[in-house]
Every structure is written in structure tokens, then in C-alpha cells.
Amino acid sequence: MVEKLIRLASSILKYWDISVSQIELIQGGQMALVWKIMTDRGPLCLKRIHRPEKKALFSIYAQDYLAKKGSRVPGIIPNKRGHLYTRQGPFLFVVYNWIVGRPFDLTVSEDLDWIMRGLAQYHIDSEGYIPPEGIPVFSKLGQWPNHYIKRCQQMESWKKIAAELPDDPFSQLYLSEIDHHIAFGRQTLNKLLDSGYTEWVTESLENPHLCHQDYGTGNTLLSDQETWIIDLDTTTFDLPIRDLRKMIIPLMGDQGEWNDDLFNRMIESYEKVTKLTEAQKKIMFTDMLFPYELYETANEKFGRKNDLPADELEKALTYEERKGKEIVKRMN
């Protein structure tokens, strides 16, 4: 399989004006493939993007915009025709500069500071991006209410699956506790609609920012005291605080308990680069109230059909209760 994928890379690289001396498969066995290429231009990265084409094109041109603007993302090497990608079958292939660096360790305060500042800089740098004519716009602006509704409906539907597993401790616990959290999720939707979210979305439609949607240690590197973002496949137009919630809340959950110092440090590090207004923080805190971690735990069990012990659900339930109390205190 490895040899086959090396041959695939070699055939694709003929579309670029580069001299290749070595090809190494870095990521294989999935829809997304990544190779490290040693060339006359130095090390480069060849990637087969696994996103649908319209979303892939939006992110490819976004990355090119950011790189040319001086943002810390790998530059894209055009092919012989001057295009940013080469299409083969249903897939798009792109060649990037290879970034040498190390992964972040979020248990180290300095690394946490770097990665949060890098996220803030990404949001600032993304301002002004307009996809070229003909490139579909990928945006989640204004879609949060629908996301809340869909997740609440899914948690409701999973009650039927749980009821069919009367001897399963996870399902028993789910049935005994989930109604309260579904109701809380719906209350959060009402809070969001009263929070100024709609007004911020309306303002952002005139001058949107990119939201990475999958920012974290797997898509970043620390290189020469700079935070580099090496994967932008999921980037969309959205409110930047979406990335903050996706960084902060799961990390807090991984701690096994609420850590006020960690919470404050992450927001303070982000605000070293760009400040959030009190109105924006209110919207962010409201979004953080939604029981995302509980939803993800239940989805692992009932959506993805993976066997989970009841104590995993217990942890998620306990975390949601503590998180809700702490966030509400910040909103008052």
C-alpha cells in the first residue's frame, strides 16, 4: 500500500515544476493523504484533500490569501499552469511549503499562551478574505440556532435507542438524566437569541472573519517562536468565538474537573492579541453553556455505535453541571 501511494504522489507531482529527490508517506490509510517531498526547493508537502470540492476550494484560496498576507500558514506552490491545485478524479491535490516545528504541549503554560495567541492572530489576519469569483462561499454565520436545535433533537431521538437497551448501564443513566439537559439546551437557544448573536452575525456578513473550526494541537506547530497553522481544510466564515469555545471547553473537560485558572489563562492569552468586547463575551459564554461534551459522549455511544462504560457518561454529566454553574457566574 505504501509503495502504491508513493507512486501516486510521483505521478501527481509531474504537474508541478519541481525536481523531486525523495517522497515519504506521512499520513495514509485515510481519505486525506500527506507526503513529505524533498525537492530542489527544499522540503515540501503534497496533500490529497478529503473535503468536498466546494469546501476544499474555499479553504485553498483562504490559505493562499493568508500566506500572501504574511500569516503563519504554509504557502501554496502553484502547479505548472499557475493553479493552486491539481484535480485528479474526485480529489484535489495541493503542494505546500513544509513547516519544521514541534507540537504544542498544552500542559505547559508557555505553549498554551502561544497557541491561543496564534488563534487570535489567525482571526485578525483572515479579515478581508473574499473567495475568487466562482468559488463557493463556505459560511456558518447565523447557523448556531439550527445546530442547537439539531443536537437537541438527536439527544431526544437517542432516548429510543437507550430504551431498547434496558440492561445497559450507560443507557439506563442516559434515560434518567438526559431530559434535564435537553431542556437546558433549548433554554440556551433562547439565551443565544437574546444575547446579541443575531446582531453580530449581521455585522459580520459585511466583513466576515474566518473561523478555523478544528484548531488545536493536531493542526499547529511552534516554529521559531511563532504559531503556525498547518491545516486549514475546515475553515469557514463564522464568529471567531466559535474557535475559542471549541478550544476551551473540550480542554476543560479533559481536565476531569473545572479549572478556573486554566479558563482565565486561555482567554487572557487570546486577548493579548485582540480584545473581546463584553457583548462578544456574553455571546461566547452563552454558546459555552450548551451541553456539547454531553452530546459528544452520547453521540459516541448512540451515533457512532461505540461501546462506552456508564462512568464516561457520568463524567460528562458532572462536567456539564459544573461548567454551567461556572459560566453562569461569569455572565452575571
Confidence at residue 215, expressed as pLDDT on a 0 to 100 scale:
97
Task: Output the nine-digit C-alpha cell for 332.
Answer: 452575571
d(CA 90, CA 246): 30
| pLDDT tens-place string over residues 193-204 | 999 999 999 999
Q: Going by C-beta distance under 8 Å and a sequence separation of 6 or more, which residues neighbour residue 317?
A: 173, 177, 181, 294
Angle at 227 between CA 221 and CA 232, to 5 degrees: 70
Q: What is the 3-state secondary structure (H, E, C) of 63-106?
A: HHHHHHHCCCCCCEECCCCCCCCEEECCEEEEEEECCCCECCCC
Contact assessment for residue 193 and residue 145, using Cβ atoms and an 8 Å cutoff: yes
Confidence at residue 9, expressed as pLDDT on a 0 to 100 scale:
97
Confidence at residue 84, expressed as pLDDT on a 0 to 100 scale:
98
Phi, psi of 47, rounded to the nearest 5 degrees: -135, 135
Residues in the chain where the model's pLDDT stays below 70:
30-31
Confidence at residue 253, expressed as pLDDT on a 0 to 100 scale:
85
Q: What is the dihedral of CA 159, 160, 165, 171, to 10 degrees?
A: -10
**Coil, helix or strand for 299?**
helix
Confidence at residue 19, expressed as pLDDT on a 0 to 100 scale:
97
d(CA 259, CA 263): 6
Confidence at residue 258, expressed as pLDDT on a 0 to 100 scale:
85
The domains located in the chain, with CATH, are 2-97 (3.30.200.20), 109-331 (3.90.1200.10)
